[in-house]
Structure 1
Amino acid sequence: MEKLANNSTKETKNSTLLYLKLLLFTFLTAGQSFAQETSFENGKTYILGGLTVTGLQSYNEQTVKTYTGLREGQPIKIPGDEISSIIKKLWSLELFSDVEFYYTKIEGDKIFLELSILERPTLSNVTVYGVKKRKVEDILTDTDLKKGKKITESLIANTKNYLQNKYKKQGYLNANVNIATAADTSGTNTQSMVINVKKGDKVKVKDIVFTGNDKLSGKRLQKALKKTKKKKIYRFWKKSKYIEADYKEDLSNLVDTYAERGYRDARVLSDTFVKVDENNIELRINVEEGDKYYFGDINFVGNTVYTDRQLGQILGIRKGSTYNGVLLKKRVADDSKPDGQDLTNAYQNNGYLFSSINPVEISAANDTINFEIRIIEGKETFLNHVTVAGNDKTNDHVIFRELRTRPGQKYSKDNIVRSIRELGQLGFFDAEQIVPDIQNPDPNAGTVDIAYSLVESGSSQIELQGGFGGGGFIGTLGLSFSNFSLKNIFNGEAYKPVPMGDGQTFALRLQASRTFRVYSLNFSEPWLGGRKPVRFNLSLSRTQQFSTTFGTDGRLDVDKDRGFSITGVSAGLAKRVQWPDDFFTISHSLSYQLYDFNDFNNGLFNFGNGSSNSLSYTFGITRSSQGPSRIFPMTGSNFELTAKFTPPYSLFSKKDFKQIKEDIDTTTERLFEIGTSPTSVEEQLEFSEKSDELERLEEERFKLLEFYKVKFKGDWYTTLVDKLVLRTNAEFGFLGSYNNDIGDVPFERFFVGGDGLGNFTLDGRDIVQLRGYENSSLTPYITNPITGSLEQDGGTIYNKFSLELRYPLTLKPSASIYGLSFLEAGNAFNNFNEYNPFELKRSAGVGLRIFMPAFGLLGIDFGYGFDTDLVPGSVGPSGWQTHFIIGQQF
């Protein structure tokens, strides 16, 4: 660029003037306001002879030229609007900290320009001090501080303000953030950034002072502040802290507290924040209470679908009762409950989506307020299209058959809520992310579309575990597919890794050790025939237990030629019914078990050879309304009542069971007289003969098992606060006999105590969880007449009660985790005569549950038993017990 001062010609003087105008223009367009006298009327039009770009470090010159829009040979006015627009355009990119235009020379009507720019530095890395390492990534994401970002003054200021406000909202009112940048020589025009966060301590509320309150005490008003609490030493469940957003919400709660007690005109006149010291503040709240009011006449206007009486019953507010603005609002439209009992839901559940309900005060005489509930019912609404999205594995028909919303049906909010629950109960989708989207509402046509957005979660589980127990290694392999497709079992393309999508359940479980083997196979079809919700179940099982003895060297010897086995098959049907409501299911099942003994007597049974047969029918009534998720229910309940029967064979048998019983009693009595260690040869022979006789009599008595078994289980789920859920449980079981001479069968009994898990089931027993005690330690003991030892025979009656508080840590599809605390009490008894529902063994403790789709439920409980268990020789409380939970009920 030539120095203008060296030119003396007239053209040089004009060029100098133009150069000065360009400099003035550049300065003013870089953020300053144009002076009033600045004008482009005197600008001269040139032909652009050339454009060069200087100051570039990381950008291509041709790219910048192209972005300016200037091209050689085009006419350009100097000074003029075009240069101004280009500079503004370049500034808007926020890529440059300086932009200037110069001209280098003028040749006739041609002008040569130079664009001088200064690039902003690029962010190379960020270091954050003062926060936990796991929080750094979130900060970088929230502030968009990523490598390659251009560093601007606004970026630094916005980052600082964001972080300071972030921590102030969390109660760190003294939070301070400093940001510094420095050149980074590892790159071209790059800078590193250091963020130093000093949160300080959370500011506590030392005192809350109310003024103007005569009707309600300061103590009562402090309770109304749900999230802003005064600092107290003994309060550990709700820490004192000041968070502005929570405080503003609490001021609204304060007004609602007055409104609930009739003071509809109450308001907060002022609230003052007083700083006591660096870590403590005082809140001063001045209120105006006003007068107390009562409900007067409440009239309904515009209603044709429901009568005044019907609406009045739903509203539930009587003339003369204390005015309660919060209650009135909830009875008109309760936003906190999707299935609330309010007027809005009453209309929306009857097809009137476009209805509008507004309570209006029409007069206030003295202390009485009269209302009109003005209703615009709108047109009756029907569903037009119902669609689902997000089901990549599950077939559409599996979803649509569970929906309570069908095209052509009346719109019903209750049906939408129920559809969400049913989809969540399938277990194929993340219940937290089932979203019904109301689309294309048309008030004139009275139609609406619903689109369900779904996120699939894993529906298959694998159980692969090993451990030592029962004298050796125990290995388990279990496969469970809860979204199986049987019709595609011969379709090779459907194996991903197995045929999926039809909602069927297929489970295979193998377990083995030196002493036992278990094989089981289960199949379930929830919609048999595909038209109605009729569930079909089929299961096959085979259990083998081998005889064991301890050798002289203390090692366990296993004799596989002697043992006990159960072979079983069962089939059942369960149908969802509509009465008393459609949460009920009636089930029927038929099962057969063959119990086969081969020189096996371990004390569970009084015969070691022979077999027993059990053919039984089970009738069940279930009402299941818990939801929305089957993994972590928050509302609803689940009740199960089952009755299991065998045919009363003794009514038709010619056997004299009374005589058999007398013979058994006589033989047993004689065995006790001889004792378990007879001394003389005669006693040894007699003991052997009587033992064989007892086995023969027991086998004859139980050749065909006859019994009835009744069980009840109830679970209630109540949401207390947020997602804190109380699970209340009650259980009862009773095993009875038709014929007293036969007595109670040695199978199908109740074993109470421990984690509730059983490695295998020998005899149809029920394993009942009662934490804080060792497994089956609350099961009664009897004396074996042959061995003379105390052995568990199983209880014929039990009851159990429990309270469990649950709170979720995360409910993501990949893993649902929740913590719990519990109180439990229960016991088992030998017979009904000994039964005492108040003689309970108590426990308390805490636990954790983790549900992962691939592995099912995993958990651990720490329980403390307050009472002595039933194990002979036990004294004092059971104490602390640790229980591991694998694949148990939720």
Structure 2
Amino acid sequence: MLWGKRVGKSCVECNPRTNMLYRQASAISFAVALGFAITPSLAEAQNYRFNTVQVEGNQRIQTSTIIAYTGIERGESVSAGQLNDAYQHILDSGVFETVELVPRGGTLVIKVTEFPTISRISFEGNRRIKDDALLALVESSPRRVFNPSQAERDAANIAEAYGAQGRLASRVTPKIIRRSDNRVDLVFEIREGTTTEVERVSFVGNRVYSDRRLRRVLETKQAGFLRTFIRADTLIEDRIEFDKQVLRDFYLSRGYVDFRVNSSNAEVTSERDAFFLVVDVTEGQQFNFGQISVSSEVSEADSDVFFDALKVKPGSTYSPLVVENSISRLETLAIRQGIDFLRVEPRITRNDRDLTLDVEFVLTRGPRVFVERIDIEGNTTTLDRVIRQQFRTVEGDPFNPREIRESAERIRALGFFATAGVDVREGSSPSQVVVDVDVEEQPTGSLNLGGAYSIEDGFGLTIGLTENNFLGRGQRFSFNISTAQESEEYIIGFTEPHLLGRDLRFDLDLGVSETDSSFSEYDTKRAFIVPSLSFKTGENTILQMRYVWDRDEMISRGNDSNGDAFAGPVVLTEINQGELTSSGIGFTYTYDSRLTGLDTTSGFLVQVGADYAGLGGDNEYLKSTTKIVAQRLVFNEEVTLRATFEAGAFSWLGDDKSRSIDRFILSPSIMRGFEPGGIGPRDLSARATPGAGSYDDFLGGNYYAVARFDAEFPLGLPEEIGLRGGLFFDVGNLWDLSNVNTTGGTIVGDTGSFRQVVGFSLLWTTGFGPLRFNFSKALKKESFDKEQSFDLTLQARF
């Protein structure tokens, strides 16, 4: 009698999924055979007694091991159910392709066919993911027993990897190819399929913010004709979950505390090649800050002093980030006053009638817990001190959970690690904690190739080599080459963000540059060394101190066909000064309201700088600049309004006269609508050759003032095109030639006048980078100005 059935006979090329079906059919057949075996006597169950157990067909698995799987002892009475259990035990071991149990009197014969050994693993049809990456996803490996179930799981892992790239239609089929000596090749046949695009992202329930504005918040984008370069338009489940959180943060930061995402549904198109993503939201009402107060439960903490430290004002839009910043500010104040273990608990009272939230900051005494130590693991290249520098807390300090969370964010912001986890556990006693930092490093170097174009310099190529974690010390080293039709620049940069272990940034830039501009009648050469120190002087302020050494030269281009010099008499005088050096010190003070992020719809920037040259070298001068920028988003953040003011003053203190390259020269980035050097004083001296006309050299100026006003807005075009419009109005002037040798020259524009320019811009966000097309018209100008009605800037990396 045959007891047990064959699991499945494999052919030269067989799908393991079919093997699983064979196993199920085999179990059914075994049950049927068992039924026929017991039908002769329903009243008396059939029992067997085996004095001998024989195993046939095994090659790698020992006979004793297979007999042990059955659990059958020699000479013992065995029922039909026990035989069925023995069959299942052998089958469930996962190492046999077929199993048969054949009772022959007092002998039980077990016939098995072992699963083959995997000779090699290969992939066919994959182009988007390389073989090495796929091998890391599969658990099957050569020289191990082939397991159909494991092969199916490996295929599912591969399909999931393709799904993460938006290729939801990908199919992966595992197959085997029989070889000699019971070996097989495991082949994963991959049909990658096309990328499943998000054809449309729309919202339901939004009244305050338009679909266009909300789409700018999401990481998932609509498919556009530049999708070859922008891959954020693929449907990825993890990205959609991230978008939900980003959308919630967007609304909460604008006071919509009841906002929620009801659902996000992805519906496939009729052609099944794209999805429509519909996000259903409930915005709720916008809340403002109501009454702000501080109460203290700590005797040494004066609530009035802490209240004065707050910057949040009643009536402003409520934001959890503002509350978090306020708590951090109060706890920092407590540390400065020597009050340990002070905690700030915000107690919020909701006023639905007037849509305000009263916030009471309660100063309480936290538990007396200290930081016992900080353990760091996973950093094989990065030094421990680089990670420890992100902590404001050291061993022995009072434990502050908020500070630890902020330190964790600073570690992640370094960009050195793929993952960075910071956990806290109890130390050697309940009053001490251990901070565990577990990181996984990632590559920090990059090679950037790029192209650039500007009206001023023409087309160019940029090559940049950057290492952001140099020698694992957290230092930045860079080497950049920028070549264009009319300029070349080679710069080496080095940055130490924590000089001497303090919050003090050290930068060193050195380089050489040459220009051959078509807008001037001379060439230039320059070499420079600029070391600097930068540090924060407040929450929103940074001060940079620097030393500047440079050596520059104006180079003549010779004479034209008439024998006249290309440059006029004033510029020739400056060229004849030859190579000169400058050595001096300077500073830049920056106030940036965006550093604290108290208002997400507006920003304010102020920069004031000055440089004094005269610490040796040939030149002595004082040069100062000021820049003020204010920006605000209006009309539900659809329109951006920006106002910029720039001004500069140059005072020559040396014995010789200043040169054009020392003074201010306005470029289109400062004053639109004119060529580089297109406005300001000029030398219009007559050429020596009769009838040859006159020179037309820009000379720069000692003072300038420019105000720029911009409005950027949507054009109503499909979002995926990436086009926005802009209007601008510029007004500015460049004047004064004091301490300039103008002998022999005919000077115009020395006193100057304020020019006015109006224009329209097209702002195009592409896969190559942001492009800006400026079309301008000068409303007021001088007759000798050089107008430029079109300007294009392109910065590309690929």
Q: With structure 1 as the length reference, what TM-score do the two structures score?
A: 0.51
1:114 partner letter: I
In the alignment, is the contact (CA less than 8 A) between 1:623 and 1:638 conserved in 2?
A: yes
For residue 383 of structure 1, the aligned residue among 339, 358, 371 is 371
Give me the whole-angstrom Cα distance separating, in 2, the residues matched to 1:294 and 1:470: 48
> Is the Cα–Cα contact under 8 Å of residues 68 and 86 in structure 1 kept in the other structure?
no
Q: Does 1:845 align with 2:746?
A: no
Which of 587, 595, 602 is the equivalent residue of 1:619?
587
Contact 1:569–1:593, Cα closer than 8 Å, also in 2: no
* Alignment match, 1:66: 65
* Preserved contact between residue 584 and residue 615 of structure 2 (Cα < 8 Å): no
**Is structure 2 residue 384 aligned with structure 1 residue 396?**
yes
SS in structure 2 at match of 1:62: coil
Please state whether the residue corresponding to 1:90 is helix, strand or coil. helix
Distance 1:385 1:735 in 2: 53
Give me the CA root mean square deviation.
Answer: 8.0
- For 1:75, the equivalent position in structure 2 comes to 74
Structure 1 match to 2:576: 609
1:587 to 545, 548, 557: 545
Contact 1:773 1:865 in 2 (8 A): no
1:51 aligns with 2:54: yes
Q: Secondary structure of the residue that 2:398 maps to in structure 1? A: coil
Aligned to 1:113: 109
Quote how far apart the aligned CAs of 1:512 are.
11
Distance 1:202 1:725 in 2: 26
Instruction: Report the AA paired with residue 877 of structure 1.
Output: S
Aligned partners of 1:639 and 1:714 also within 8 Å? yes
Equivalent AA in structure 1 for residue 573 of structure 2 = N
Tell me, yes or no, if the aligned pair for 2:547 and 2:583 is still in contact at 8 Å.
Answer: no
Q: Distance in 1 between matches of 2:128 and 2:366?
A: 53
Residue 636 of structure 1: how far off its partner (Å): 9.7
What aligned pairs does 1:750-765 form with structure 2 within 5 A after superposition?
Answer: 750-753=664-667
1:674 maps to: none
1:643 shift after superposition? 0.6
Helix, strand or coil for the counterpart of 1:405? coil
Q: Aligned to 2:682, what secondary structure does the other structure show?
A: strand
Q: Which amino acid aligns with 1:732?
A: E
Gaps of 5+ in 2: 4-25, 216-221, 226-231, 335-339, 559-564, 688-693, 713-721, 737-750
Matched, 1:878 2:790: yes
User: Any idea what the Cα deviations from partners look like across 1:796-817, whole Å, max 9, x if unmatched?
Assistant: 4254769899xxxxxxxxxxxx
Deviation string, structure 1 residues 429-470 (Cα, Å, up to 9, x no partner): 526746241131469325241415252544587999999x99
Distance 1:514 1:782 in 2: 25
CA contact (8 A) 2:203 2:211 kept: no
Query: Equivalent residue for 1:749?
Result: 663
CA offsets, 1:847-868, max 9 Å, x none?
A: 668xxxxxxxxx7553312115
Query: 407, 429, 437: which one pairs with 2:395?
Result: 407
Q: For 2:514 and 2:271, how far apart are their aligned partners in 1?
A: 73
Shift of the 64–451 alpha-carbon distance from structure 1 to 2, 3 Å rule, reads farther
What is residue 438 of structure 1 aligned with on the other side? 423
Matched, 1:455 2:441: yes
Offset, 1:878: 1.0
C-alpha separation in 2, matches of 1:176 and 1:512: 45
1: CA distance between counterparts of 2:420 and 2:624?
41
Q: Map 1:787-806; keep pairs closer than 5 Å.
A: 787=687, 788-794=694-700, 796=702, 797=704, 799=706
Larger mean CA deviation between 345-354 and 734-743 belongs to 345-354
Moved more, 710-719 or 271-280: 271-280
Does the Cα contact within 8 Å between 2:479 and 2:491 map onto a contact in 1? yes
* Rounded Cα–Cα distance in structure 2 between residues aligned with 1:25 and 1:134: 43
Selected match of 1:340 from 321, 324, 330:
324
Larger radius of gyration: 1
**Cα deviation code 1:86-129 (max 9, x no counterpart):** 434334345657644222342xxxx342234696999998888x
Q: How far apart, in 2, do the equivalents of 1:544 and 1:525 lie?
A: 28
Residue of structure 1 aligned with 2:735, choices 822, 826, 831: 831
1:145-164 to structure 2, matched below 5 A, reads 150-151=147-148, 155=152
Q: Equivalents in 2 of 1:539, 1:202: separation in Å?
A: 45
SS of the counterpart of 1:643?
strand
Task: Look up the match of 2:535.
Answer: 576
CA distance in 1, matches of 2:328, 2:389: 28
Q: Does the Cα contact within 8 Å between 2:624 and 2:648 map onto a contact in 1?
A: yes
The residue that corresponds to 2:646 in the other structure is 732
Structure 1: gaps (5+ residues): 4-22, 209-216, 228-233, 485-499, 549-555, 629-633, 650-702, 755-767, 806-818, 850-858
- Distance in 2 between the 1:706 and 1:358 partners? 60
The 2-side partners of 1:404 and 1:800 are apart by 42
- The amino acid of 2:547's aligned partner reads S
CA distance, structure 2, for counterparts of residue 284 and residue 567 of structure 1: 56
Change (3 A) 1:85 1:349: farther
Tell me if structure 2 keeps the 8 A contact 1:772–1:845. no
Contact 1:804–1:820 under 8 Å retained in 2? no
Return the alpha-carbon distance in structure 2 between the equivalents of residues 117 and 593 of structure 1: 84
Distance of aligned partners of 1:782 and 1:458 in 2 relative to their CA distance in 1, 3 Å threshold: same
Aligned counterparts of 1:245 and 1:542: Cα–Cα separation in 2: 45
| Structure 1 residues 734 and 343: alpha-carbon distance in aligned structure 2, compared to 1, 3 A threshold | closer
- TM superposition shift of 1:392: 3.9
Distance, in Å, in 1 between the alignment partners of 2:82 and 2:194 is 49
How far apart are the structure 2 equivalents of 1:725 and 1:398?
A: 42
Other structure's SS at 1:89 match: helix
Q: Is the 8 A contact 2:374 2:434 kept in 1?
A: no
Match of 1:340, as an amino acid?
Answer: E
Q: Note the C-alpha offset of 1:790.
A: 1.1
Query: 1:831 is matched by which residue type in structure 2?
Result: W
d(CA) in 1 for partners of 2:69 and 2:124?
Answer: 42
Against the structure 1 CA distance between its residues 825 and 140, is the aligned structure 2 distance closer, same or farther, given a 3 Å change threshold? farther
**Structure 1 residue 386: Cα displacement:** 2.0
Describe the shift of the 1:463–1:741 C-alpha distance in structure 2 as closer, same or farther (beyond 3 A): same
Kindly indicate whether structure 1 or structure 2 has the higher relative contact order, using CA contacts under 8 Å at least 6 residues apart.
2
SS in 1 for 2:61: helix
Q: Decide whether the 8 Å contact of 1:391 with 1:455 is kept in 2.
A: yes
Residues 593 and 614 in structure 1, CA contact (< 8 A), matched pair in contact too: yes
Corresponding position of 1:783? 683
- Determine the C-alpha separation between the residues in 2 that align with 1:294 and 1:714: 29
How far residue 415 of structure 1 moved from its aligned partner, in angstroms, is: 3.8
Q: Give the letter aligned to residue 735 of structure 2.
A: N
2-structure distance, mates of 1:64, 1:828: 96
CA contact (8 A) 1:29 1:84 kept: no
The Cα of 1:397 is off from its aligned counterpart by 3.5
> What do the CA deviations read for 1:821-845 (whole angstroms, capped 9, x no partner)?
8968767742276465964776443
Go from structure 1 to structure 2 and tell me whether the alpha carbon gap of 1:717 and 1:464 turns closer, same or farther (over 3 Å shift).
same
The whole-number CA distance in structure 2 between the counterparts of 1:515 and 1:51 is 89
Contact 2:582–2:614 (CA under 8 A) maintained in structure 1: no
Structure 1 Cα separation of the partners of residues 475 and 391 of structure 2: 17
Distance 1:68 1:414, change over 3 A: same
Q: 1:88-237 residue pairs with structure 2 within 5 A?
A: 88-94=88-94, 99-106=99-106, 111-116=107-112, 134=128, 150-151=147-148, 155=152
Letter in structure 2 aligned against 1:830 = L
Q: 1:294 to 1:864 in 2, by over 3 A?
A: closer
Judging changes above 3 Å, is the alpha-carbon distance between structure 1 residues 114 and 253 closer, same or farther for their aligned structure 2 residues?
same
**Aligned partner letter, 2:763:** G
SS in 1 for 2:324: coil
Letter in 2 for 1:866: F
Q: Deviations over 1:700-732 (max 9, x none)?
A: xxx964432223457899999xxx999989573
How far, CA to CA, are the matches of 2:615 and 2:699 in structure 1? 23
Are the equivalent residues in 2 in contact too, given 1:592–1:616 (CA < 8 A)? no
